[in-house]
Amino acid sequence: MAEQGFTPPTSEWYRPSADMIKGANVPDYDAVYDLARQDPEAFWVKRADELDWYQKWDQVLDDSNKPFYKWFVGGKTNMALNALDRHVTTWRRNKLAIIWEGEDGEKITLSYWRLWQETNKFANVLRSMGVKKGDRVTIYMGRVPEIAIAMLACAKIGAPHSVVYGGFSEQALASRIDDAQSKVLITCDGAWLRGKIVPLKDTVDEAVTRSPVVETVIVVKRTGQEINMQAGRDYWYHDLMALPIAKPQADTEVMDAEDPLFILYTSGTTGKPKGVLHTHGGYQVYTATTLKWVFDIKEEDRWWCAADPGWITGHSYIVYAPLILGATSIIYEGAPTYPYPDRWWQIVADYGVTILYTAPTAIRGLMRFGEAWPARHDLSSLRLLGTVGEPINPEAWRWYHRVIGEERCPIIDTWWQTETGGFMITPLPSVDLKPGSATRPFPGIEVDIVDDDGAPVGTNEDGNLVIKNPWPSMIRTVYGDDDRFISQYWEKYRDQGWYLAGDTARRDEDGYLWVIGRNDDVLKVSGYRLGTAEVESGLVSHSAVAESAVIGVPDELRGNKIFAYCILVEGVDGSDVLEAELKAHIRHEVGPIAVPAQIEFVDNLPKTRSGKIMRRVLKAKALGQPLGDLSTLED
């Protein structure tokens, strides 16, 4: 069942200007798509040849052990080679790699040369602390330049990073540290958000108590408030970076194309988060190609992906792909509405941002404040706008197009996932658009919409979105759990060998794709991905709750909001006080994004005879819709 209200296909077309098409990196989508389809391996070799390799591959694709595909087998490379090392030997050393603005107005710029040096210094620090190739390092930071430095330094020394989003609670952090078994954790004293300090280090202290595998904590000073520093465990980043060991040159570890670059945890259908594994070789090729073609990156662009580096969007398109392309990437630390709702538009004007990439929930949030805020700023530098994270409703699309893009900028609606590593269904700037449709697959990608047996569904009919062929940045496994990797993504269409995305989609009469929403127990709230099971296990970890079920219901601003149903333990009665207490509990156990909008206390939950909660029934009831087929209902 889809989590999002479906907007029917429209025949409202937006066509790019002749100049846009003529000047685009890829002016003819159909031609390139056909080329890639005829010979995918030759197509990806061309893309891989644009990058530097210590040694080229012997085999482009090894599919002898499906679904454990391998790309560029035998190739030797390192993300840091392409993102940094290769630029500093050219004039690009003087180009800005990162422009950073703090919420408090502080500004930092890093040239490629400077970013390379800082990365080398930190790589030396990590090495001196005993971090070796293959060791996992957890990163739990705010949106500061040092998060990019930390990620790149890990890549450079071959230590896979696991970035945990700074909005997660200590429990979520602890379970991710545990799963990755990281001995080293990099954090900040705090982060600025809406004028207040998010106390990251306090959360780390609690998480490390719960997950004692951590031996060393490195702390970047950002906010300067008093924090606990435990002698022998906690070190200030700036102290370490001032040591003689922190030389500005460091060797880059020669990595196999298939060696892990990072683990990134995401929500699945069970309570335990999945560690999605990406590797050095294919991930570089795919993310760099997609960014260059989809957002048409040119040397002079100022690219702003307004996501958090802690999500895949930030990994692929704030840090890695822009740097591989030698682009200038903008990072803003704080809230879009701080101190006023025009902060983003101010940033666009101040830095001459040419391409802005954000999420529907942010657009809807800013739309609420009206057109006067953007109208105060010169947005004429913008030439392309992008969106990701959930379906964009046509009203938000049109507002973004008209008010922010001044009817000049195509809206690039990119569908993809943590697991896919990069954009999968997306227009290129030369493609005609329809508001709310992510249009067509990227060249080299074959998608289809099929029923439960794998038969293609008809035009404008709902079905399961599948990807029919392997691609270079595909998830390699769930860290430490190959079985889960298979059962989650490959079991359903095992005979056909297709990847199951977990989304419901449609294809309209023009062949345009419309992603409607998740069809598994995954929720999208403000573009964030959450498992129903994560919220449910958070609720039952409270002593008053015996059992719980949560569902997502459509919400104008957030896409979906969470409704929770709880059966209380014997002798406890539901009350407003208890509801507030449970919300605070979830905030603490899972994180602020998981807090239910509403908690209802009930005597029982609709279940199948085998004991599975029928969330579909709860949802139909919450929306006042017909309950559907109840034949499997137990009671």
Residues that bind ligand WT7 (CB under 6 A): 266, 312-313, 388-391, 413-418, 438, 501-503, 515, 517-518, 524, 529
Min. distance of Cβ 390 from ligand WT7 in angstroms?
Answer: 5
**Residue 443 or 606 having the CB closest to ligand WT7:** 443
Shortest Cβ 509–ligand WT7 spacing (Å):
20
Which is nearest to 164 in space by CA: 66, 76, 262, 67? 262
State the minimum distance, in angstroms, from the CB of residue 350 to ligand WT7. Answer: 26
Least distance (Å) from ligand WT7 to the CB of residue 457? 18
What is the distance in angstroms between the CA of the first residue and the CA of the last residue of the chain?
22
Nearest-approach distance from CB 151 to ligand WT7, in angstroms:
17
- State which residue, 154 or 388, has the beta carbon closest to ligand WT7: 388
* Phi, psi dihedral angles at 149 (to 5 degrees): -60, -45
**Contact between residue 522 and residue 502 where contact means Cβ atoms under 8 Å apart:** yes
Residue 374 or residue 427: which is nearer to ligand WT7 going by CB? 427
In the bound state with ligand WT7, the residue whose beta carbon lies nearer, of 147 and 522, is 522
Distances (CA, A) of 210 to 164, 169, 628: 16, 12, 44
Taking the complex as a whole, how short is the minimal distance between the CB of residue 239 and ligand WT7, in angstroms?
A: 36
Nearer of residues 175 and 393 to ligand WT7, judged by Cβ: 393
Residue 292 token pair: 């260059």
The residues that bridge with 197 in the sheet, in sequence order, are 192
Q: How far is the CB of 106 from ligand WT7 (least distance, A)?
A: 28
Choice between 294 and 349, CB closer to ligand WT7 = 294
Q: Which is nearer to ligand WT7, 2 or 572 (CB)?
A: 2
Q: Can you point out the beta strands (E) in 94-248? A: 96-101, 107-111, 137-140, 161-163, 184-188, 191-193, 196-198, 216-220, 234-236
Return the closest-CA partner of residue 473 out of 305, 352, 321, 300. Answer: 321
Dist CA 317 CA 301 (whole Å): 14
The rounded distance, in Å, linking the Cα atoms of 598 and 362 is 22
Nearest residue to 307 (alpha-carbon basis) of 414, 419, 394, 383 = 414
Please, which residue, 258 or 390, has the CB nearer to ligand WT7?
390
Q: How far apart are CA 290 and CA 307, in angstroms?
A: 17
Q: How far is the CB of 467 from ligand WT7 (least distance, A)?
A: 11
Shortest distance in whole angstroms from residue 401 CB to ligand WT7: 15
Residue 396 beta carbon to ligand WT7: minimum distance, rounded to whole angstroms = 12
CA atoms within 13 A on the CB side of 559: 26
Give whichever of 360 and 443 is closer to ligand WT7, judged by the CB atom. Answer: 360
Closer Cβ to ligand WT7, 124 or 266, answer by number: 266
Nearest to 76 by CA among 336, 272, 257: 257
Of residues 416 and 565, the one with the C-beta less far from ligand WT7: 416
Q: How far is the CB of 552 from ligand WT7 (least distance, A)?
A: 11
Q: Which of 504, 572, 501, 560 is nearest to 532 (CA)?
A: 560
Are the C-beta atoms of 346 and 377 separated by less than 8 Å? yes
Question: Is the preceding peptide bond at 339 cis, omega within 30 degrees of 0?
Answer: yes
Contacts of residue 441, defined as CB under 8 A and 6 or more positions apart, other chains included, come to 33, 424, 425, 447, 513
* Bond from prior residue into 9 cis (ω within 30 degrees of 0): no
